[in-house]
Structure 1
Amino acid sequence: MGTGHTHGRGTATGKHRRRLVLVLVITLSIVGVQVVGGLLSGSLALLADAGHMLTDATGVAVALIAAALAARPATKARTYGLQRAEILAALANALLLGALGVWVVVEAVRRWNDPPDVATGLMLVVAVTGGLANLTSLLILRGAQKESLNVRGAYLEVLGDLIGSVAVVLAGIVIATTGYLRADVIASVAIGLFILPRAWSLLREVVDVLLEATPKDIDLDQVRQHIRGVAGVVDVHDLHVWTITSGVPALSAHVVVDDECIDRGLSGTVLDALAECLGAHFDTDHCTFQLEPIGHGVHEANQHA
């Protein structure tokens, strides 16, 4: 009977591009310091932290590229443009993060029976420097990580790096004071085990978006209740809410309206009211509604609730 559209703003990652660029510069600067320090000191934990930070840098770089692609206009072939590129970037980030966690744990197990000597002085200086850099990056991303999966992925990785730096510092102190070389191996395992569940958490969020699951912050029953509360609306079915990319939810629904709405030509008024209601209560700006007269549903096959 009629279709209404409202279109939202740019992607969440694009809003925080400058933060990501700053974190990328900080991260790349520290990676080089940690790699050199890890090789010279013989610390696996330091190399693990460097590898994690390199993964961070790669993830942030991919996120920035994806944000630029997502900002490109839609085409006939890609009606949503390349906004999903951000989600694919987050997927790559999660897989890289998981692979790194597995490598660190495997390498630590291999070194358990023959831990190498570690130059603790250099190890501690590099670890403290990396920790301060991670803390700075964490503060930069803290305010934005709730709005974008890509920014959240970077935030989680930097958080893991911060914990990793703390673990390296503790291992260095233990080795320096007791001579227990396996402390470096234990710190490496701790870093790996810290990385893996966070990689899994990010991967689950990405899969939810790719499977077009209902966003966690939207209650479908409440959405249905609000739609039914609009004047002229009798019922709603085929209601779907999904996420195109972080910060860009979308909604579609078949809305049954009463005879008065049809007879008096009030479809436009109902569409405006629906868009205004859902935009205000659920921050869902991209909405598509199909208005139907009473009884039209019998002509539709495989209706969804």
Structure 2
Amino acid sequence: MAHSHSHGHSHGHSHGSGSDGAIGWAVAVNLALTAAQIIGGLVADSTALIADGVHNLSDALALVLAFGARRLARRAATPDWSYGWGRAEIVAAFVNYLALIAVSIWLAIEAFGRLADPPQVAGGLVVALAGFALIVDLATAALVWRLSKESVNIRAAFLHNLADAGVSVAVIAGGALIWAFGWNLADPILTLAISVVILWHISLEIGPVFRMLMLAAPPGSDPKGVIAALRDLPDVRDAHHLHLWQIDEKRTAASVHLVVETAEFIAITRQAKEVLRRDFGIRHATIEVELPDSCADATADAPHAHEADDHPPH
């Protein structure tokens, strides 16, 4: 039996202090905006403004977590942490989404409570602070736009900032309605709308993050295609026990058993790793090579021996 390992070394993020500085500024600006909106919302008695402020606070905390996770992800792999710390960003993203879900539910409950008896809202103050929020949201989105291409964390924060900008536009419109026509019902309705927007964004982003945490096969992967390609290799009689999973956002790994008809184990494992790398983008592979008469695992698992699954190796 032979094992071949194409080790996924720490992919050490090469982001410099400029990237960290951009995140730092984005966090500071969003914290300032959060304070202004929550205080202003309490003064104006506007749950919509408080909702927008809390959402901005969650964005700031998301950026703080993303910043810390990016720093951790730069750590090199060690014997105890053989994959490095790249998955720290995945954990941080999932924590952020869970926090946002809790925030959304709280906002919806507050809004429903106000629908029956909408309070008097200071529409002018709401419009002013929401206008300020719109500027800050767009500025924050501009700061993290380039970084959003590199990290699921930063991308989530970027999308939230764009959503915040849209929410701020809605709050401005609602404040204008209250200020011009005294339609105080606009405030709880807008709060509910903000909750829906937040949950909609979470539904778009949390799935891939959850899949990575559960070590599922990457979205769009083709386990049956991988098995077929490996079985087509010369001298390979069968391939089974395929496991595909994501180490982090940028690295996919695989383990598989090959039943071969020759003792040229090294050559076969090299060919198999090249197929996985070239055709499926899998650069971290562990391949176990077996002779037909020593393939106990394949018969032990019958009738599922030849099925590709998406669990990590045992």
**CA-to-partner distance for each residue in 1:162-185, whole Å, 9 max, x for gaps?**
232122011012112211011111
Question: Is this contact kept in 2: 1:13–1:150, CA < 8 A?
Answer: no
Percent identical across equivalent pairs? 33
Per-residue deviation, 1:66: 2.1
Match of 1:174 in 2: 177
Equivalents in 2 of 1:9, 1:135: separation in Å?
37
1:71–1:12: structure 2 CA closer, same or farther, 3 Å change rule?
Answer: closer
Match of 2:7 in 1: 7
Residues 1:237 and 2:240 aligned together: yes
Match of 1:285 in 2: 283
Residues 1:225 and 2:213 aligned together: no
Question: Is this contact kept in 1: 2:258–2:289, CA < 8 A?
Answer: yes
**CA-to-partner distance for each residue in 1:79-121, whole Å, 9 max, x for gaps?**
3233332222122111100010011111111222332332323
Aligned pairs (5 A) from 1:8-87: 8=8, 10=10, 18=20, 20-87=23-90
Per-residue deviation, 1:48: 0.5
1:186–1:10: structure 2 CA closer, same or farther, 3 Å change rule?
Answer: farther
Q: Structure 2 counterpart of 1:277, which letter? A: V
Equivalents in 2 of 1:83, 1:198: separation in Å?
24
Match of 2:128 in 1: 125
Match of 2:270 in 1: 272
Equivalents in 2 of 1:75, 1:21: separation in Å?
29
Equivalents in 2 of 1:110, 1:253: separation in Å?
56
* Superposition TM-score, scaled by structure 2 size: 0.83
Per-residue deviation, 1:47: 1.0
**CA-to-partner distance for each residue in 1:128-153, whole Å, 9 max, x for gaps?**
22223323433555565565432333
Q: Structure 1 counterpart of 2:236, which letter? A: V
Residues 1:206 and 2:209 aligned together: yes
1:13–1:117: structure 2 CA closer, same or farther, 3 Å change rule?
Answer: farther
Equivalents in 1 of 2:143, 2:237: separation in Å?
48
Equivalents in 2 of 1:304, 1:64: separation in Å?
43
Q: Structure 1 counterpart of 2:38, which letter? A: V
Question: Is this contact kept in 2: 1:148–1:247, CA < 8 A?
Answer: no
Match of 2:312 in 1: none
1:95–1:183: structure 2 CA closer, same or farther, 3 Å change rule?
Answer: same
Equivalents in 2 of 1:215, 1:164: separation in Å?
32
Match of 2:310 in 1: none
Per-residue deviation, 1:31: 2.0
1:282–1:143: structure 2 CA closer, same or farther, 3 Å change rule?
Answer: farther
**CA-to-partner distance for each residue in 1:35-62, whole Å, 9 max, x for gaps?**
3332333321111011011011111211
Where 1:295 maps in the other structure, the secondary structure is helix
Equivalent pairs, count: 300
Equivalents in 1 of 2:55, 2:29: separation in Å?
14
Question: Is this contact kept in 2: 1:12–1:148, CA < 8 A?
Answer: no
Structure 2 gap ranges (5+): 308-314
